[in-house]
A and B are shown apart, each in its own frame.
Chain A
Amino acid sequence: MALIWGLGLLGYISLSSALVFTFPRSVIAFVFFEASLFWVYYAPLSFKMKCFFGALVLVVLLPVLGSVNGYYLEIAIQVGIFVALALGLNIVVGFAGLLNLGFVAFYAIGAYLWAIFGSPQANEFLPGAYFPLSPSWFFVFLLLSVFVGALAGVLLGLPVLRLRGDYLAIVTLGFAEVVRALVNNLDKPINLTNGPRGITPIQRPPLFFQPLLKLFGLETDPATLYPLYFYFLVVVLVLLIVTATRRLEDSPIGRAWKAIREDEVAAATMGIPVVRMKLFAFAVGASFAAAVGVLFSAKQIFINPESFTFMESIGVLAMVILGGMGSIPGAILGATAVTVLNLQLLKGLSLWLNSLRQSGLILHLPLLGSIDLSQIPAQFEPAKYERMVFGLILILMMILRPQGMLPPRREGD
């Protein structure tokens, strides 16, 4: 049985990667390829085999395909960033049941942390000219952001965690708006964030392995190296977060979170320190988001407040809900699905509609009469209506399948 599955998977993976290789512009081929990870996860194989296949796809094939079409690597990085964010929010919303509508605030805090000190920006308000810090500080800040994020989570959590359900949601939303407004306006009296103009250039992480590559006789230029480098950084970060989340989920802390989610009063009666556990959930989620933020700002080189709107918070929430609240594979699947939908399918659909419009074909439908395709209004571009798509997803999921695509397995069910 395992052999058949293994061979089948191998066949699927090689077929789909061959498809991507031959049609480097095809969105469908790439989705087909991405689905292979899903099959790897669900195949009834031993853990070692799954690791092997997962590594084959993530470490070998995707970078190779990414070198055929750099866009795929970019998408993979974006997916990774959102997967990490969704996993962080999953802890707060999914495990502890605290609806946080301002998750993006912690992401922004992390991003600005590195942006300010990894660019000449910090010279504006600190004496001397020590900034930008050298690239090797990136890793220090990655670690630092975990603590800063946790601190921000606790600071927000302390006053508001006494609130229940929907009140908490609105207060976190207000908090995110406050953070965004601060970032947007703190270019005076002292120039902390450079306001709406944003910060650039931000240092990228150090290419510490370049001498090693030279040793093997590989001459590389940074332009091709950086995307690959960021890709591997994201993969490592996601793996770390997944491991941490799984460990937490199976620990007494994770069980306490779930108990609080199911019934706060009962949990308190059983001796669970409710407020401390909620604070901890906030802090852990926030620290993941802040770490991802550092990575994001280093990848983008340029950040401004536009990247941290309410829309982002809702996007991440949609990912968690779509995948299934409280489920780690669910959060990963949701983040992948929404990002791919956003970056590839909607854009692809827009391009397709544009080409239809230009072709000027006249479509003859039975019943509806004929439709002149060049008459499709120019404003109708699916890529611009991502909110509509997200909105529909949220409503339909809540009505039809509130537990999400991959709901968590519950003990005792």
Chain B
Amino acid sequence: MDGIVLGFMYALIALGYTMVYGVLEFINFAHSEIFIIGAFVGVEVFLLLEASGSLAALNPVFIVVALLLAGMVASGLAAMGLERVAYRPLRGAPRLVPLISAIGASFFLQDFIRLTESIWRNTFYLTYPSLDLLERSVHLGAAVDVPVKSLLVILTALLMLLALYLFVNCTRVGTAIRAVAQDPDTASLMGIHVNKIIALTFFVGGAMGGAAGVLFGLNYSLINPYAGFIPGLKAFTAAVLGGIGNIPGAVLGGMVLGLMEAFAASYLSILTGGAFGAEYKDVFAFLVLILILVFRPKGLLGEKVREEGV
């Protein structure tokens, strides 16, 4: 169960990496911070609602939806802003240049969140208030208790994945995104506004990350500006695992990684006779990444990626 929840979480974050990679062919290293921005905006809205005393009066479902929307919009806008400021001026530069800029953006955002929260709340470790509904669990069949939190993650993720699938495959804008991913120059000849589409891709990817951020916060309560880094790295691993640039691949990669990690956390110590415990799950995840890249450099569902020099 933990594995599935983790898997959906990774899948949602991995979508942001993979969509951006699809259109621009570069790793948006700052996506982990876009993700944590979602978590922070979510907690801020939550705390404001709590402070105004309306938490008890409102329907918990409404609260959760409001948090998700707030996180999505904030993260989406942040991702768009980031693209405008830190990546667009670098388009067409050698590939390492935007990657380094993205690493810079990631570091900048981490401390920027810390600074704003420090000034605003005098601390940068924030806790999500608890909702009674989320603390319960649902009976499924005999002796299987599913926490509502886990159900929330799974349902939201499924809904968003479905929406994304429809958006990318069945709308005109989605077609435009796919066209830009295939060939930006030709797409622009066909009357597609490439810059707008790229900004939109960042928004959609960021929004997915923001939703994942809010879900992360609701699930684990305690967040800090640096908490996004490791989930982000693992989500990237998931994206690579599934074949970067490939949307179903990101979901598959997320699920595989989440399940494997949960498996490692619970069985690694049994398998190795207690020598290596759950603390090695990160090592395990990264070793999997290295192995996959060595034997299948294009990922599980890898597409042919254009070769354009390094």
B114 near A385: Cβ-Cβ < 8 Å: yes
- Report how far A188 CA is from B283 CA in the complex, Å: 15
**Cα–Cα, bound, A97→B96 (Å):** 9
Contact present for A174 and B90 (CB under 8 Å):
no
A317 vs B119: C-alpha distance when bound (angstroms) = 30
Pair A167/B240 contact, Cβ less than 8 Å: yes
Number of A-B contacts (CB under 8 A): 143
- Judge whether A181 is part of the interface by a CB distance below 8 angstroms: yes
Q: Is B158 an interface residue (CB 8 A)?
A: no
Interface of A is mostly: helix
**A402 and B97 contact, CB distance less than 8 A:** yes
Question: Per a CB cutoff under 8 Å, which of B115, B236, B274, B282 touches A388?
Answer: B115
B283 close to A166 (CB less than 8 A): no
Tell whether B111 is near chain A: CB-to-CB under 8 Å: yes
Would you call A99 and B115 a contact (CB within 8 A)? no
**A169 interface residue (CB < 8 Å to B):** yes
Indicate if B280 sits at the interface (CB-CB under 8 A): yes
At the interface, yes or no: A377 with Cβ under 8 Å from chain B?
yes
Contact A385 B111 (CB under 8 A): yes
A159 partner residues in chain B, CB cutoff 8 A: 290, 294
Q: What 1/0 mask marks residues of chain A from 32 to 60 whose CB sits below 8 Å from any chain B CB?
A: 00000000000000000000000000000
A410 to B269, CA, bound (A): 55
Give residues of chain B (228-253) contacting chain A, Cβ–Cβ below 8 Å: 229, 233, 236-237, 240
Interface size on B, residues (CB 8 A): 51
**Is the Cβ of A377 less than 8 Å from the Cβ of B119?**
yes
The stretch of A117-125, A242-250, A389-397 that contacts the partner chain: A389-397
Question: In the bound complex, do residue B310 and residue A264 qualify as a contact, i.e. CB atoms below 8 Å apart?
Answer: yes
B118 within 8 A of A: yes
Q: Which of B27, B100, B276, B307 contacts A321 (CB 8 A)?
A: B100
A398 to B101, Cβ gap below 8 A? yes
In the bound assembly, the distance between CA atoms of A237 and B236 in angstroms comes to: 38
- The answer to whether A377 touches B93, judged by C-beta atoms less than 8 angstroms apart, is no
Residues of chain B having any CB pair with chain A under 8 Å: 26-27, 85-86, 89-90, 93, 95-101, 103-112, 114-115, 118-119, 122, 229, 233, 236-237, 240, 274-276, 279-280, 282-283, 286-287, 289-290, 293-294, 297, 307, 309-310
* A-to-B contact residues, CB < 8 Å: 97, 99, 101, 159-160, 162-167, 169-171, 173-175, 177-178, 181-182, 184-185, 188-189, 263-265, 310, 314, 317, 321, 377-380, 384-388, 390-395, 398-399, 402
